[in-house]
Structure 1
Amino acid sequence: MLRLAMTTDAETFERVREPLADRDIEVGHVRAKERSLRVSGGESSAGDTGDVAAGPEEFAGFDVGLVYPTRLMEGAVVDERLGVPWVNGRDAVVASRNKAGVLARLSAAGLPTPKTTLVSNPVDESVVVDAAEEFSYPVVVKPNSATRGVGVATATDLDSLLGVVDYLNLIHDYRATGDKSFLIQEYLPDARDYRAMVVDGASAGAVERVLDDDALAAGRWKHNVHRGATAEGIALDPEARDLAERAAETLGIDYLGVDLLATDDRLVVNETNARPTVDAATKYADDFYDRFAALIRRTAETA
């Protein structure tokens, strides 16, 4: 049986464990953060327990990893200890995390994206003012490297935009990469928000992220599930499936969540995620786990 190392959260780990076991892939969790990790300095002792890394044997016996750890410093240690190929390695995770870089590559390849400008701090206020002149309000302001909707806001005029920028400058620490850049992006009102899953180049299902009536009445607009939206399984139309597949192909990432925004007259790629959460199997194509397992096996064979 193939052994797969997963560093993703418990929710995804629990969802994939049984379906992959049915396909002769044993899933093991490797804790890569919020603990100590022995780097060097001798063999392990019998007294090493709990949050202390118990030496090389903790990482032994794996054949392949799913996605590189989200914290790159810890990831370097875990990667060295495991010594396995990753379905999505460090380069894929770093590339997808860079929202501006993703949009620049997709736009250069002719794929539709929201109008977006990257601002690299520190800059004078005049730089932000000049960058905002090419947009109509409201605009979306978001950290370039954050996830789960952290730090994302809308600005209705120049004063509120500069206020959001001040907030980002003062309190957002960009812990993932040290990135202090942010995006100014056009706001697409009433856009439907889809997360398409692409596995080995082919669309494998999708969800629509929906806010309930109370949230909408309260003026909320961010559709992140971690912010309270509900993910409902849907069948994407051919245009949306094709766009998600083209995005994954352009980025060269085999296992990718592609976030699409759709209005009555536009369909754009908004972001991508090379560490996508796996939802309930009912929200994906019937052969999702067969394709997922095949990709894992093919990756293991590259070792």
Structure 2
Amino acid sequence: MIHSMTAFARAEMAGDHGTLSWEIRSVNHRYLEPHLRLPEAFRDLEGAVRDALRKGLSRGKVECTLRFAEDAAGRSMQVDEARARTLIAAAEDVAALLKQPAPINPLDVLAWPGVIVGDAADPQALGNAALKLFDKALAELKAGRQREGEGLARLINERLDAITQETATLRAQVPQMLAAQRQKVLDRCAEMRVELDPQRLEQELVLLAQKSDVAEELDRLATHVGEVRRVLQSGGAAGRRLDFLMQELNREANTLGSKAIDTRSTQAAVNLKVLIEQMREQVQNIE
């Protein structure tokens, strides 16, 4: 099964010291490009997170954000008096430089980082919990990419069905178009009352038919359609191969258009190019 590169996942876990939450967003990109946003206390997890992404994904721009909301409820709290005295002394020194200093607000002192000390959480336990939660979020992201990939595969198969129908119709019309083109040349010669060597005329008509023959292009289109279906069925990291096949399909549609000798073949070439472009846009999102 193929996978999309577009998905979103969120996982949250509450513990004794607070709540951990991961958000992972991925969009299409030529290569795997991870962007991590981690709190300072969790910076040492970056290597493990990148390794997990490389093992789980092959392409996409992936943004991973970890948040930790610390919970102070139920924890013993005490004031670090040495830090508070240092802070107050520094504030008094600054106040001495002012003409009308405002009084020091005790709540401002308590709000300063490190003044209030609580029970410290075990950094290793928190890190392990964050990695375990990341694995859960990554699994959710991969499941979302798979669901999106299934939808993309259905859309592409619908366009492949339309291409198959279009080429089958054109293949059935080719003999009629060649006969009409032959008759048009004969009628033009008759109108001009030009006497031509029958053998030479027949040679020219054969050359015209050969230049207008699109059987080879139709065969190659059918081959490429079959290969696209095979790649979709095989799954895996198929995006680059599918993109190449879209280029080949477009090449045959262009050649078909250049050989058009009838409004029906011209319209068929246009319809094919529209269908191929619709598939190409969807392929850009496939991993």
TM-score interval for Structure 1 and Structure 2 normalised by the shorter chain:
under 0.3
Normalization by structure 1: what TM-score? Answer: 0.22
Q: Tell me which protein shows more strand as a share of its residues.
A: 1
Which structure would you say has the larger Rg?
Answer: 2
Q: Which has the higher contact order (CA 8 A, sep 6+)?
A: 2
Q: Tell me which protein shows more helix as a share of its residues.
A: 2
Normalization by structure 2: what TM-score? Answer: 0.23
